[in-house]
Structure 1
C-alpha cells in the first residue's frame, strides 16, 4: 500500500510511520520538517499543511492525517488523489465531554471556535470530500514513548525523583489511556481495510486506575493520596499542575468514553504497566532531551517543593 502520512515525525505520527513500514508499506510523510526527524526509510516531502501543492499530481492508496486541526486545511488534504482517508480527531468534538459519558452517537460541535470545534469541522470537511472513504478516530488521552506533551512522562519522572509525591483523588479512581503505538496500529488497520466511520480511540472503560498507573512508574517514591475536594480547595489547576487530573465529581464523563465500536473494528490496547515501563525506559535513555519545541507551551511544569508541601498539609 502507498500511504501518505500528514505529520509523521514527532509523537503519534512517528509511530504510524514505524507501524506502516514494519508492514512493508511504501510511506510518504508531509511536514515542514521543523519538529522531529523524518524517518530514514520513508519519503519526506517538505511543505506546510495549509498548502498541499507539493503533493498534487500524485496518488496514494490511503492517507493518515495526524496533524489536522481545521476544516480548510483538512478539506484541502482530502481533495488529493487518495483511496481512503483516516483522520485523527479528538473526544473534544463532543460538547458533552468530559462532563458526561459519550459514544460515537453523541452530538458533536456544529459551530463555534476552539480545539474541539475545529476538529469537528475538519471531520465534516474530510467526510464531504471523501464520501464513504473516510474514517475519523476520536482519540482520548494519548501516551507512550516520545510523548512531546509530557503528561504521563511528568508523572513517571516525578516518581523517579523519589520522596513524597502528591497523588490526586483515590488510588481506585479509574483512567482511560491509549498507547500511541496501539493507536497507530489501529489507524493503519483502518487504512489497509478501507474501513469507514467514526471511532472513539482510547482504552476501554475501567482500563486502569490511578493506583495501578502510578504504582507501575517505580518504587522510589511514596504516593500521598489527596482527595479531590482538598485539591479543589487549594485551587490546584486541573490537568495542569497535576497532569491528567480532573475532579471526578464534576467531570463524570472524563474516563467514560465508549469504545465498543472501535474494539469491534480491531482496536486493542496493551497492559498499562507495559506503557509506563516503556515511558520510563525512554526517559532513562534521555527521552526528554530529544523533544523539540513543538507544543512545548502545553507541557506541564514540575511542581515546586513548596507547592507540594502545601498540598501535603491538606490531609
Structure 2
C-alpha cells in the first residue's frame, strides 16, 4: 500500500483519481478547500486553501509515494512543489492540450508550447500559458509525470459540454435539433473514468515524462450521430453554418448560448492529439457510445430541461431553427 496525496480530490477529475487510488488499496489523502464536493469514501480529507501559505502544514509530517496535482494556478503548483517536492517519490501534474502554441494541426508531445505565464494566477484567457508555467515547475522535480489532457467527458461533467447533444436529442424526441455544420471537424473525447484510472495507475507504476491523455480520434459528425442514437432521436437535425451562427452571436466550444464542441479551424489540433505514447503506457479507453449512454443517464438525473452552463436554451434553439426554416 502506497501513500497518495491528491492536491484536489473533491471535484470531478480529482475525485475520480482519488477514488481509483482508494480502490487500488492505497492510503489516500485529499487536500482541498472542499467547496466542490467531498473526498471519496475511505480517503482522508484535509481542508486547506492553497492561497494560504500554511495550507500544507497538516501533510508535512510524512513522506508521500505519489503526489497528484490537478491545479491550473502556477502559484499553487509552485508552493506545493517547494514545500512537498522533497517529500514525494513521484509527482504527477494534470496539464492540458491548451499549452500548445499552434493548435491548428496534429499535436505531439514535442509540439512548440506557449510562453509560460509570468504570474502566479492564471485567468480564463491565460489558461494555457498558466499550465505551461505549472509544467515548468513540476519538470524541475526529479521524478515527474505531466499528463496533457484533451476534452474530458462522462458522468458528472460540470462543464455541460459533452452532454449537450445527447440530452438535447433526448429532450427533443421527434422535434428538430440545431447542429453546427462541422461534421468533419476532428474530435477526441476521453471518459473521465478511464483517464482517472490511468493517471492513478501510471503514478503507481512510476511512469515519467510528458504524455497526452486523449480520446480516440473521431469527428463532430460521428459524435453527434452517436448522441442521437443513444437518445433514440427521431427528429430532424437542422444544420447551421459557422458564419450564420456567429452572425447570431452563438458561441463556439462551451459556455452560455453556445453550440458545444464546435471549434474554429485554428483549434482543430485539440482533436488531433497523438495518443501513441499514452497507449504504450497502458491507457485503455471505452467506446464513445458507452460514454454517451452513461452521460445521458447522468443528464436525465440532473434534468433535461435544466439551465445549462453550455449550450442553447430550448426556446432559443427553436427560435434559431425558425429563422433557418421559416
Check whether TM > 0.5: yes
Q: Write the mapping of 1:1-315 to structure 2, written as runs, cut at 5 A.
A: 1-50=2-51, 51-66=55-70, 68-79=71-82, 80=84, 81-97=87-103, 99-112=104-117, 114-128=126-140, 130-131=141-142, 133-162=143-172, 163-206=175-218, 209-220=222-233, 222=235, 223-240=237-254, 241-247=258-264, 249-286=265-302, 299-311=309-321, 313-314=323-324
SS of 1:40 mapped into structure 2: coil
Report the alpha carbon displacement of residue 173 of structure 1 after superposing the two structures with TM: 4.2
* TM-score using structure 2 length: 0.85
Q: Cα distance 1:21–1:280, how it changes in 2: closer, same or farther (>3 A)?
A: same
Report the alpha carbon displacement of residue 19 of structure 1 after superposing the two structures with TM: 1.2
- Tell me, yes or no, if the aligned pair for 2:165 and 2:228 is still in contact at 8 Å: no
Measured in 2, the distance between the counterparts of 1:271 and 1:286 equals 23
- Tell me, yes or no, if the aligned pair for 1:7 and 1:65 is still in contact at 8 Å: yes
- Tell me, yes or no, if the aligned pair for 2:8 and 2:32 is still in contact at 8 Å: yes
Matched residue count: 304
- Tell me, yes or no, if the aligned pair for 1:216 and 1:276 is still in contact at 8 Å: no
- Tell me, yes or no, if the aligned pair for 1:168 and 1:226 is still in contact at 8 Å: yes
* TM-score using structure 1 length: 0.87
Bigger shift: residues 119-128 or 102-111: 102-111
Report the alpha carbon displacement of residue 28 of structure 1 after superposing the two structures with TM: 0.7
Structure 2 gap segments, 5+ residues each: none
Bigger shift: residues 262-271 or 109-118: 109-118
- Tell me, yes or no, if the aligned pair for 1:173 and 1:210 is still in contact at 8 Å: no
Measured in 1, the distance between the counterparts of 2:41 and 2:299 equals 23
- Tell me, yes or no, if the aligned pair for 1:60 and 1:82 is still in contact at 8 Å: yes
| Pairwise CA RMSD | 2.5
Measured in 2, the distance between the counterparts of 1:288 and 1:34 equals 25
Report the alpha carbon displacement of residue 47 of structure 1 after superposing the two structures with TM: 0.5
SS of 1:9 mapped into structure 2: coil
- Tell me, yes or no, if the aligned pair for 1:161 and 1:221 is still in contact at 8 Å: no
